[in-house]
Structure 1
């Protein structure tokens, strides 16, 4: 075989080999975008201001005490309900108690003034708690931010804010206590003390389509 034929044969073989190698690849355009996503949870942050609602000494039967405090929603989520739980501890100074001191301390009212609105004009207050003893209150969990006013008040447009506590808002609360004078011998309570713990528990509003 001549040199020319050998060269041509070699070139042909090389072309076939390159074609086989390139036969499995394709040229195309492409464009890539990245989606960065975030799931950030909100916060429930309830505050009671002041944190100590009442601190009083030297009590005697018949004394009444009125105090005010504020419930604040300092979180980013709305609050649907705020449950109020009551617990107390009696310190029997003389060790002679035959009755529970908590039965003689009455909550005359716990009013949410923001929920009352102008209802006071017709005497319809938004009392979260109405005249009960601390002893009985232990078995109750009232909602401190519920609008409880009568339907007539709502009809007349005199009711206050709706239920719950929106983020960044607060509700003004008023409470009155009484050391009940029952007209009987209450000497067993002389020198005694009652430590009251009120626990406010906030709950979120229902989930929704976002």
Structure 2
């Protein structure tokens, strides 16, 4: 037998031995355990009742209208912040407006029915529209909702008084006009928790 054959046989024997040794390392006791885990996200579900807070005709300068509505947290998570976006459009019946009708609609946010005359914040609709959501939350909802928090499953009454301001001058330009107001209440959760 030549050197090449002896060498080849030796190499093959070595490889077989290594494969047997390597294959033997996989023979061991084993055990396993499985766990079932679930991550279920909570919900934020803010609603306002009624959905139409005010719908009134034939107002005149000096008139006031008080309305009550409720914010409901129908979700499973606490709402830490409520903000308010204000949008409106004015229908100028005669096409003669030189001023924004919303400048003369004052809004008083009041505490609740028990403290009907305690004002939280007063502004006009045109100013409210220009406020940042954070400013609205700090000025109105932090006070009205006891720190701004609306717990899961809770509801809170809010009272709003609208005043058509009488500026003591001729306001004929607003006769027959309509102001269409949309308030959008937005809810955000609080900080994350260590559960």
**Is the CA contact 1:89–1:194 (under 8 Å) kept in the aligned structure 2?**
yes
Q: Which runs of 5+ in 2 are unaligned?
A: 1-19
Report the CA distance between 1:147 and its aligned residue: 2.8
Pick from 145, 150, 157 the counterpart of residue 172 of structure 1: 157
Equivalent residue for 1:153?
none
Of 24-33 and 42-51, deviating more is 24-33
Equivalent residue for 1:36?
36
Residues 1:97 and 1:37: Cα distance change in structure 2 (over 3 Å):
same
Query: In the aligned structure 1, how far is the partner of 2:153 from the partner of 2:167?
Result: 44
1:174 partner SS: strand
1:145 partner SS: helix
Query: In the aligned structure 2, how far is the partner of 1:61 from the partner of 1:24?
Result: 97
Report the CA distance between 1:49 and its aligned residue: 0.5
Equivalent residue for 2:186?
201
Q: Which runs of 5+ in 1 are unaligned?
A: 1-19, 149-159
Equivalent residue for 1:9?
none
Alpha carbon RMSD of aligned pairs, Å?
Answer: 2.6
Question: Structure 1 residue 110 and structure 2 residue 98: aligned?
Answer: no
1:171 partner SS: strand
- Structure 1 residue ranges, 4+ long, deviating more than 2 angstroms after superposition: 23-32, 111-114, 160-163
Question: Structure 1 residue 146 and structure 2 residue 142: aligned?
Answer: yes
Deviations 1:72-105 (CA, angstroms, capped at 9, x unpaired): 0001110111011211100001111111101111
Equivalent residue for 1:95?
95
Structure with the higher fraction of residues in helix conformation: 2
Query: In the aligned structure 1, how far is the partner of 2:172 from the partner of 2:83?
Result: 35
Query: In the aligned structure 1, how far is the partner of 2:61 from the partner of 2:192?
Result: 49
Equivalent residue for 1:181?
166
Deviations 1:44-80 (CA, angstroms, capped at 9, x unpaired): 1000000111111111111110000000000111011
Query: In the aligned structure 1, how far is the partner of 2:67 from the partner of 2:25?
Result: 83
Residues 1:126 and 1:99: Cα distance change in structure 2 (over 3 Å):
closer
Query: In the aligned structure 2, how far is the partner of 1:106 from the partner of 1:163?
Result: 23
Q: Rg: which structure is higher?
A: 1
TM-score (norm 1): 0.72
Residues 1:96 and 1:25: Cα distance change in structure 2 (over 3 Å):
closer
